Amino acid sequence: MAWLLSRFSISEDLGIDLGTANTLVASRERGIILDEPSVVAVYKGTNEVILDGMGVGEEAYRMLGKTPANIEAVRPLKGGVIADFEITEKLLRYFLRKAHEGRSWVRPRVVISVPSGITTVERRAVINSAERAGARKVYLVDEPMAAGLGVDLPITEALGSMVVDIGGGTTEVAILALGGPVAVKSVKVAGDDLDEAIVDFVRNAHNLQIGPQTAEHLKITIGSAAPMEQEKSLEVAGRDTLSLRPRKAILNSEEIREALDPALRGILRAILDCLEEAPPEIASDLLEQGIVLVGGGALLPGLASFVEQETGLPSRVDAEPLTAVARGTARFLEDLDLYASFLSEGEDLA
Ligand SMILES: Nc1ncnc2c1ncn2[C@@H]1O[C@H](COP(=O)(O)OP(=O)(O)OP(=O)(O)O)[C@@H](O)[C@H]1O
Ligand SMILES: [Mg+2]
């Protein structure tokens, strides 16, 4: 029976992309199993998840900014790292159970991706959260390596390649070769900052206070990083900053592009800094291989041409940028021994 159980749980090993905006769970056999916002709804002032633990992910995301006085929708990760340990554990517990269709006795081994810039203490927090949430064994992998493997870059070959992961809280830039990062840059400028830039712009230019969800909606619907063939506009609602009454305004894509520009240049700075660190031999590989963009931020229209223009390197967005890191974490599960040099465990952090 023990043998059977262990066989079963081995086949249930999971890869997890624990993101600021979205958490994805994947396995070798089933590919992407779960993909939900990293949001938990709790009773205010407590860490108790509402609706018998159902207020996690998609359900909780819909409540953001609209919760009644006694409920709070919390994003437990900020800037790629755990800001609320207990709530992260609940989020992971819920997702692990959901991935195993409620069989809470299954204790999988998990590979979790983390931003490359995080501290040992922050790494420990991720391991502890996952263990307490029911994982049998936890391995951490740096996000850029997971992204590189997820989009099939030749990360173990002598050929240099470059991946940029623009998430909700962090942008991770890495040049990879021979199974390791040749240069890495991690900055806390990503999707959330683009949303904030839109909130600020709309307040200053239109005297209208909008919420972060509305700003994200503007970004996704009419946002861009380079001029578009067909410029667009969108009507949004908010609160007038003077009369404090609800009011609508129409925004156009040129304005949104202007609002996004400073934050996009912050992301570009990280890419250029990383390139400056690369040895010349690798630089010539990159001229051929170019840059692959992943993460939700890569979906911003015109981003590849913006990066291409500013760096002079061919740039493309992966076909499924939102799942790249999660797909990569699941690929490490194929052979934990082969990939041991990429993975760190609790003992390594002593
Ligand atoms: N079509 C789109 N255009 C622009 N941005 C988008 C689009 N779709 C999603 N995003 C943004 O992508 C971000 C989420 O991306 P992703 O899921 O890769 O982040 P994450 O992995 O949770 O965060 P991190 O890696 O920083 O911890 C959000 O800021 C979201 O607004
Ligand atoms: Mg991410």
Instruction: Please list, residue by residue across 263-279, b when 16 or more beta carbons sit within 10 angstroms of its beta carbon and e when fewer do.
Output: bbebbbbbbeebbeebe
Cα of 248 from ligand 2 centre, angstroms: 33
Q: Is 190 in the pocket of ligand 1 (CB under 6 A)?
A: yes
| pLDDT of the chain, 350 residues: tens digit per residue | 555 555 554 448 999 999 999 999 999 999 999 999 999 999 998 888 987 767 899 988 888 877 778 888 999 999 888 999 999 999 999 999 899 887 767 789 999 999 988 899 999 999 999 999 999 999 999 999 999 999 999 988 899 999 999 999 999 999 999 888 899 999 999 999 999 999 999 999 999 999 999 999 999 999 999 999 999 999 999 999 999 999 999 999 999 999 999 999 999 999 999 999 999 999 899 999 999 999 999 999 999 999 999 999 999 999 999 999 999 999 999 989 888 888 998 888 76
Q: What are the chain's domains?
A: 2-38+75-146+325-349 (3.30.420.40), 152-189+263-321 (3.30.420.40), 191-259 (3.90.640.10)
Q: Is 150 in the pocket of ligand 1 (CB under 6 A)?
A: no
Cα of 168 from ligand 1 centre, angstroms: 5
Measure the CA–CA gap between 350 and 290, rounded to whole angstroms.
38
Q: Is 226 in the pocket of ligand 1 (CB under 6 A)?
A: no
43, two tokens: 């009773």
Residue ranges of alpha helices (H) inside the chain are 2-10, 50-53, 58-61, 85-99, 120-132, 143-150, 191-206, 212-222, 253-277, 280-289, 303-311, 324-332
Cα of 65 from ligand 1 centre, angstroms: 18
Nearest residue CA, atom 29 of ligand 1?
191
Q: Is 219 in the pocket of ligand 1 (CB under 6 A)?
A: yes
Cα of 296 from ligand 1 centre, angstroms: 3
Q: Is 322 in the pocket of ligand 1 (CB under 6 A)?
A: yes
- Quote the mean pLDDT of the chain: 92
Percentage of residues in the chain with pLDDT exceeding 70? 96
Residues whose beta carbons lie less than 5 angstroms from ion ligand 2: 19, 167
Angle at which helices 212-222 and 253-277 cross, to 10°: 90
Q: Is 167 in the pocket of ligand 1 (CB under 6 A)?
A: yes
Tens of pLDDT, residues 75-112: 999 988 899 999 999 999 999 989 988 776 778 999 99
Q: Is 80 in the pocket of ligand 1 (CB under 6 A)?
A: yes
Cα of 269 from ligand 2 centre, angstroms: 19
In Å, what is the CA distance from 282 to each residue of 162, 175, 181, 198? Answer: 10, 9, 12, 37
